[in-house]
């Protein structure tokens, strides 16, 4: 679904990523680790077309990203659910509308979608907070709302950037469970995190591959889980 | 057309995506209203100048004056000779010598009402009315020089041309003003739209993240600015039309340029085009601004 072949990314004269090769296939589960500033977020941005590689070849859903129009990238993003570390909500809209945003922008906000929305809010435990505004949510609630928004279009791939960065351990486990459930439904999942405890906890639930970015390069991080 | 209908019908969910922008909205409406008000005046000026140019051009082009200056004893004879000559001149529909009362009326504004015309060496004036085809002024002058030596032909060209030119320039100035107002509206909307887009950079980033196409994001801004401009321009046009209607002498004849300034007949429909045209300008200006801004984003 997403294939990187010798991908590099330069910015401001410096090479942030070099010679990255990885394939995100249906049903796969990846953990992406590495120190802060190593390029994990940049890697994820490349994967959903927010950045263009400066070297190598990147294919998203069988199409070379350099050949994709802005509209094509927008349409591809409907098949890629993204959970940002800072969640990125529209603060003037209630949680329910924020979660439904992918449906709204794709013109699918009809009656059936509303039913799915309520089920999804129930799944992430936010039914009671549906009408709250994002600034009123706790860190964990924001992350769950971001996850609900990422999956509402039933995407093929879920990319999560430090989804447990601002939450306690109990909530981290809860979010991990939600991601594992999605993976069991056949979704490809990639979680960028520096939380090794989370990676260790995951081994009880899912067969995941751990990769590490260091010095701008992707390395296998020991044995896969 | 379908796009315009979709734009006007709107999408309430999509409209909610971009937060309201308070002061920008009010300023856009106000500026559009002010520009529309000025556009109505420029339109009134241009149409009035056009009417004057047409009227002066037509009326003065169809007439000429023959002035006969001769010694007392020869005045009547030269006048008759001139009239006979004019009767046989191709292109002259009619000619008549002005009566002393008419000549007195012409001089009255300058010399006063009790003018003793009999005691003054006033030339005899003959009014010439042309046919559609007109006459050969140069040929007529040659014949007059030979047969009526005291006659001077004034075909009004000398002073008619600058008047018509002035009215034409005024008309052009009015249209240029309207074009400038349109350009100013476009510039103002572009600046306001760019400010709104910059203020909503985070909103746009989120929309792009969840798969919104540029056209969806742009439409939210385009619709908002188009409707604001349409509303403001409608208000400004209404006030402009009321102000033009209230101009002194606006409803009477066109005795002078000032009292003739305004709309006549179907011209009253012309200002009604100002709001939709302003909306069209706003539509394209916002669309261009949104396109530029969005293309610069990832």
Q: What is the pLDDT of residue B265?
A: 85
Q: How many CB atoms lie within 10 A of CB A14?
A: 8
- Give B-chain residues touching A77 at CB under 8 angstroms: 208-211
Closest chain B residue by Cα to residue A86: B206
Is A67 a residue whose pLDDT tops 70? yes
Rounded mean pLDDT, B19-33: 83
Interstrand relation of B124-130 and B63-68 (parallel, antiparallel or unpaired): antiparallel
**Residues of A contacting chain B (CB within 8 angstroms):** 45, 48, 50-51, 70-71, 74-78, 82, 84, 88-90, 92-93, 97, 101-102, 104-106, 109, 149, 153
Residues 141-200 of B with CB under 8 A from A: none
Report which of residues A16 and B18 the model is more confident about.
Answer: A16
B9 in A contact zone (CB under 8 Å) = no
Q: What is the pLDDT of residue A135?
A: 92
Is B40 a residue whose pLDDT tops 90? yes
Closest chain B residue by Cα to residue A153: B210
- Interface pTM (ipTM) of the complex? 0.84
Q: For A74-130, how does the pLDDT look when each residue is reduced to its tens digit (9 = 90+)? A: 999 999 999 987 778 898 899 999 999 998 888 887 666 777 788 888 888 888 998
Report which of residues B17 and A127 the model is more confident about.
Answer: A127
Dist CA B48 CA B262 (whole Å): 6
Going by C-alpha positions, the residue among A79, A75, A60 that lies closest to residue A154 is: A79
Interstrand relation of A209-214 and B151-154 (parallel, antiparallel or unpaired): unpaired
- Contact check, Cβ <8 Å, B213/A93: no
Q: Which of A5-19, B225-239, B279-293 has the highest mean pLDDT?
A: B225-239
Q: For B51-69, how does the pLDDT look when each residue is reduced to its tens digit (9 = 90+)? A: 877 777 776 667 788 899 8
B211 in A contact zone (CB under 8 Å) = yes
**E-assigned strand segments in chain B:** 63-68, 92-97, 124-130, 151-154
Q: What is the pLDDT of residue A105?
A: 87
Closest chain B residue by Cα to residue A146: B210
Q: What is the pLDDT of residue B250?
A: 47
With beta carbons less than 8 A apart as the criterion, state whether A161 and A40 touch: yes
Q: Which of left, alpha, beta for A56 (phi over 0: left; psi -120 to 50: alpha)? A: left
Name the band, by pLDDT with cuts 50, 70 and 90, for residue B8. Answer: low
DSSP single-letter state for residue A13: T
Opening angle at CA B215, ends A133 and B11, nearest 5:
55
Burial class (CB in 10 A: 0-12, 13-18, 19+), B42: buried
Write down the residue that tokens 């020991």 correspond to: A222
* Residues 6+ away with beta carbon under 8 Å from B265: none
How many residues in chain B? 298
Helices (H), B10-156: 12-17, 23-61, 75-87, 100-111, 137-147
Rounded mean pLDDT, B70-83: 86
Opening angle at CA A103, ends A100 and A109, nearest 5:
90
* Residues 6+ away with beta carbon under 8 Å from A187: A27, A151, A155, A156, A157, A158
Name the band, by pLDDT with cuts 50, 70 and 90, for residue B7. Answer: low
Is B72 a residue whose pLDDT tops 80? no
- Contact check, Cβ <8 Å, A105/B214: no
Is B110 a residue whose pLDDT tops 90? no
A206 phi/psi in degrees, rounded to 5: -150, 150
Burial class (CB in 10 A: 0-12, 13-18, 19+), A170: exposed
- Give B-chain residues touching A142 at CB under 8 angstroms: none
End-to-end CA distance of chain A: 22
Tokens representing residue B6 in the block: 């979709």
Rounded mean pLDDT, B281-293: 89
Q: What is the pLDDT of residue B251?
A: 46
- Contact check, Cβ <8 Å, B16/A93: yes
B216 in A contact zone (CB under 8 Å) = yes
Closest chain A residue by Cα to residue B19: A92
Q: What is the pLDDT of residue B267?
A: 87
Closest chain A residue by Cα to residue B200: A90
- Contact check, Cβ <8 Å, B17/A71: no
Q: What is the pLDDT of residue A218?
A: 86
What's the mean per-residue pLDDT of chain A? 87
Q: What is the pLDDT of residue B252?
A: 46
Report which of residues A4 and B108 the model is more confident about.
Answer: A4
Dist CA A225 CA A203 (whole Å): 5
Q: What is the pLDDT of residue B189?
A: 87
Tokens representing residue A225 in the block: 């889980």
Dist CA A76 CA B279 (whole Å): 34
Q: What is the pLDDT of residue B158?
A: 66
Going by C-alpha positions, the residue among A40, A30, A81, A34 that lies closest to residue A207 is: A30
Is B136 a residue whose pLDDT tops 80? yes
Tokens representing residue B37 in the block: 């008000």
Shortest distance between the Cα of A168 and any Cα of chain B, in A, equals 26
Is B256 a residue whose pLDDT tops 70? no
Is B295 a residue whose pLDDT tops 80? yes
Q: For A129-157, how does the pLDDT look when each residue is reduced to its tens digit (9 = 90+)? A: 989 999 999 888 888 899 889 888 889 99
The torsion defined by the Cα of B290, B292, B296 and B298, in degrees rounded to 10, comes to 50
Name the band, by pLDDT with cuts 50, 70 and 90, for residue B5. Answer: low
- Contact check, Cβ <8 Å, B206/A82: no
Dist CA B220 CA A28 (whole Å): 38
A5 phi/psi in degrees, rounded to 5: -130, 100
Closest chain A residue by Cα to residue B20: A92
- Contact check, Cβ <8 Å, B207/A51: no
Dist CA A178 CA A123 (whole Å): 9
Shortest distance between the Cα of A105 and any Cα of chain B, in A, equals 5
- Contact check, Cβ <8 Å, B210/A93: no
A204 phi/psi in degrees, rounded to 5: -75, -15
With beta carbons less than 8 A apart as the criterion, state whether A153 and A78 touch: yes
* Inter-chain Cβ pairs, chain A and chain B, closer than 8 A: 63
- Contact check, Cβ <8 Å, A88/B295: no
- Contact check, Cβ <8 Å, B207/A105: yes
């Amino acid at each position: 679904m997403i294939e990187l072949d010798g991908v590099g990314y330069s910015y401001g004269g410096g090479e942030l990523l070099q010679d990255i090769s990885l394939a995100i296939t249906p049903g796969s589960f990846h953990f992406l680790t590495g120190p802060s500033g190593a390029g994990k977020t940049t890697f994820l941005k490349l994967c959903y077309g927010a950045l263009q590689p400066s070297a190598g070849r990147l294919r998203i859903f069988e199409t070379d990203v350099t050949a994709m129009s802005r509209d094509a990238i927008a349409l591809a993003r409907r098949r890629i659910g993204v959970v940002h570390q800072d969640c990125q909500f529209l603060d003037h809209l209630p949680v329910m509308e924020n979660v439904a945003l992918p449906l709204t922008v794709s013109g699918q906000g009809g009656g059936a979608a509303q039913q799915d929305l309520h089920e999804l809010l129930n799944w992430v435990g936010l039914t009671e907070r549906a009408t709250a505004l994002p600034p009123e949510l706790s860190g964990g609630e924001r992350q769950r709302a971001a996850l609900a928004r990422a999956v509402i279009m039933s995407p093929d791939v879920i990319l999560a950037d430090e989804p447990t960065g601002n939450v306690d351990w109990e909530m981290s486990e809860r979010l991990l469970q939600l991601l594992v459930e999605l993976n069991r439904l056949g979704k490809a999942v990639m979680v960028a995190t520096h939380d090794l405890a989370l990676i260790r906890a995951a081994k009880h639930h899912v067969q995941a591959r751990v990769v590490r970015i260091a010095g701008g390069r992707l390395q296998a991080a020991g044995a896969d889980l | 057309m379908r796009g315009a209908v979709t734009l006007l019908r709107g999408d309430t969910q999509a409209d909610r995506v971009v937060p309201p922008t308070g002061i920008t909205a009010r300023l856009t409406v106000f500026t559009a209203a002010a520009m529309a008000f000025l556009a109505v005046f420029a339109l009134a000026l241009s149409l009035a100048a056009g009417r004057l140019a047409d009227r002066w051009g037509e009326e003065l082009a169809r007439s000429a004056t023959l002035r006969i200056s001769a010694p007392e004893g020869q005045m009547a004879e030269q006048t008759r000779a001139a009239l006979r000559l004019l009767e046989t001149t191709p292109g002259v529909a009619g000619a008549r010598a002005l009566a002393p009362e008419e000549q007195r009326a012409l001089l009255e504004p300058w010399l006063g009402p009790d003018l003793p015309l009999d005691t003054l060496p006033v030339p005899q004036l003959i009014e010439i009315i042309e046919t559609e085809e007109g006459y050969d002024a140069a040929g007529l002058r040659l014949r007059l020089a030979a047969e009526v030596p005291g006659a001077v032909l004034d075909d009004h060209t000398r002073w008619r041309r600058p008047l018509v030119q002035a009215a034409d320039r005024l008309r052009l100035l009015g249209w240029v003003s309207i074009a400038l107002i349109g350009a100013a509206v476009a510039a103002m909307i572009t600046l306001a739209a760019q400010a709104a887009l910059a203020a909503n950079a985070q909103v746009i980033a989120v929309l792009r993240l969840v798969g919104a196409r540029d056209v969806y994001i742009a439409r939210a801004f385009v619709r908002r600015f188009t409707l604001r401009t349409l509303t403001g321009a409608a208000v400004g046009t209404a006030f402009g039309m009321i102000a033009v209607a209230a101009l002194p002498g606006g409803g009477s004849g066109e005795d002078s340029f000032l009292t003739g300034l305004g709309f006549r007949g179907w011209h009253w429909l012309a200002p009604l085009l100002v709001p939709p045209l302003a909306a069209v300008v706003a539509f394209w200006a916002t669309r261009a601004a949104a396109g530029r801004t969005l293309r610069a984003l990832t």
